A = this chain, B = another copy of it.
Amino acid sequence: MRDQQISELTTNRLSLYLRFLTELDGKGVESVSSKVLAEQFGLNAALIRKDLAHFGGFGVRGLGYVVKDLRQQLHSILGLDQKLQVAIMGAGNLGLALADYQGFGQEGFRIVALFDTEAKKVGMRSRKGVLIRHSRKLKTVVRREKIAIAVIAVPAQEAQQVVNTVVEVGIKAVLNFSPGTIRVPDGVKLKNVDLTVSLESLSFHLADRQGGGVKWGI
């Protein structure tokens, strides 16, 4: 398998499946069918089978999927076997909140450092103890701590510059929270979380009253 490219829509769903499988495993459930998964997420069962079949048939016909095995497989497929180190750029409100956010540490990520250029913040820590370092130290820390992902939580006007810097020191994956268009070179994966876009999308639907059927996003 793995003949086609895996779309982002698929990887997002894999992530959801993994979370649910972990929950099922915790409850001692041993197997699960695509039908049950489909009901859980409001998706079509065939879609779930296709998502999983991309990586080789680990289903059992007549039975479904073995929860423990599938969980392990997805964990590995999503690259969560080696705990990835994450740096957060910008120790403002949002950066500090993200540094302490429970969900981040959960599955396979570790927040190694916050970076900021403001001298008076440097040396301080988030509530949960993540150290704020000066952005000058980025290169050294990224190399020493093997940081793989940068989260951008700086004001919009600084964002492109900060992204350029993290790309220069060799980071290949960027999660951007700042609004506006960011450019990265080929080979670097950028994911945008744009809070304004999200809110304005809700605003549109409130203004528009287009029927209002519900979709089970992301």
Residues in chain A within 8 A of chain B (CB atoms) = 5-6, 8, 11-12, 14-16, 18-20, 40-42, 77-80, 84, 86, 93-94, 96-98, 100-104, 106-109, 127, 148-149, 155-156, 172-175, 179-181, 183-208, 210-218
Contact = CB atoms under 8 A, between A and B. Distances in A.
9 contacts: A11-B201, A11-B204, A14-B204, A15-B197, A86-B199, A108-B203, A148-B206, A172-B206, A184-B214
Please tell me how many copies of the chain the complex holds: 2
Nearest to A109: B199
A19 B218 contact: no
B189 A84 contact: no
A101 to B, nearest CB: 6
Given A94-B97, A185-B214, A196 B79 contact: no
